[in-house]
Amino acid sequence: MIALLIGTRPEIIKMAPVVRELVKRRIPFLLIHSNQHYSKEMDADIFNDLQLSEPDVHLGVGSGTHAEQTGKIMIALEGVFLQHKPDVLVVHGDTNTTLAGALTAKKLHIPVAHVEAGLRSHDYLMPEEVNRTLTDRISDILFAPTNAAKKNLVLEGISEKSIIVTGNTIVDALRQHKKLSTQSTFLHDHSLKEHEYVVVTLHREENTATRTDIEKMFALFTHAHMRMKVPFFWPLHPRTKSFIEKEDIILPDFIQTSPAVGYIDMIALLSNASLVLTDSGGLQEEAYLLHTPLMTLRTSTERPETLSANFIIGSDREKFDRAWDAYIQHTVGWDGGLGDGNAAVRIVDILEDSKGAYGI
């Protein structure tokens, strides 16, 4: 039997097309949720939006330090694997859940398939870079979303035979939900006018760990606001929300906030924004696919396919100016390939083709 492991909001969204494809083909699977994300808006609301059925197993690990979270997931998962004896474990992306899943499976000699393999920022201060690189190193099947991701893996000595370029499942997810997002009333409910607001998101450790990190970003936002003269809308990740509250940080008055937003509303919000400023990997992909102007609040990206319209600005005001000028002068393009919307079909084809091996 196939086991699928998810734990955080982006894993739920990006694995949903694979789950749907398995259901469509009536292939039995075990869906395991680590509960790394557990708040209603980071978990239950996303399941609802995606119309996904409940996971079969909840590990209930919740928040903690990296070691606590990774360790707790491994301990809980080992019991589940010993009980259910899956023939393969499918993990996604670069979270603590991903690495914990891959390590636990591998030590029980359960083959690991990694969806979104081969992304590299080459910044090993990011926990995600550590998680994704180590997961790739011990995976048996590497579902690389693009040729650039495949190249990274080959350069690291991973056998080409185990790498399959599938496209990114985010393209599948977006296609499956774009229509629904037209029914969203989120813009109206929050008094936002189409193409007259900036969407901001910040949750990376490197941007939100200290007061100085956040204030550096506020200086950038204030500069951007003076140029663009439109309101900013910021759905707060629980990590950032609790930090802002703990530190009594006062937000500039042109920024409206909300709790983390559901998937359908987020697509509506992104589709109609004048600009997206984000440090999220998934949002870089989604804004790019929706052709919404985009700048990344980091110093690197593991998504080079988006660079024709994705400006890596960190908190640098001059870089913001140059990027916004490029948008005003229409010197950007959206020609980078992230996928054709059939990634999940290819992934399940491979899992199904390995019939004997994975007990399908």
Chain residues binding ligand UD1 by CB under 6 A are: 8-10, 36-39, 42-43, 63, 94-96, 127-128, 203, 237-239, 242
**Which member of 58, 203, 223, 225 is catalytic?**
203
The answer to whether the beta carbons of residues 128 and 94 sit under 8 Å apart is yes
| Closer of 94 and 116 to ligand UD1 (Cβ) | 94
CB of 36 to ligand UD1, least distance (A): 5
203: annotated active-site residue? yes
Which residue reads 């080959």 in tokens?
A: 154
The residue type at 63: S
- 175/203 with CB nearer ligand UD1: 203
Least Å distance between CB 289 and ligand UD1? 18
**C-alpha–C-alpha distance, residues 30 and 81, integer Å:** 10
Whole-number minimum distance, CB 89 to ligand UD1, in Å? Answer: 17
Q: How far is the CB of 275 from ligand UD1 (least distance, A)?
A: 21
The C-alpha atoms of residue 85 and residue 78 are separated, in whole angstroms, by 10
Contact 112, 105 (CB under 8 A): yes
Q: How far apart are CA 307 and CA 42, in angstroms?
A: 28
CA–centroid distance for 219 within its chain: 26
Nearer Cβ to ligand UD1 (95/152): 95
Least distance (Å) between residue 246 CB and ligand UD1: 10
CA distance 346 to 326: 36
- The Cα–Cα gap between 149 and 134 comes to 15
3-state secondary structure of 282: helix
- How many angstroms separate the Cα of 280 from the Cα of each of 9, 13, 165? 12, 14, 23
- Pair 336, 66: CB distance under 8 Å: no
Cβ nearer to ligand UD1, comparing 20 with 92:
92
Considering only the C-alpha atoms of the chain, give the largest distance between any 2 of them, rounded to a whole number of Å.
Answer: 62
Q: Which is nearer to ligand UD1, 281 or 346 (CB)?
A: 281
Which residues are the active-site residues? 203
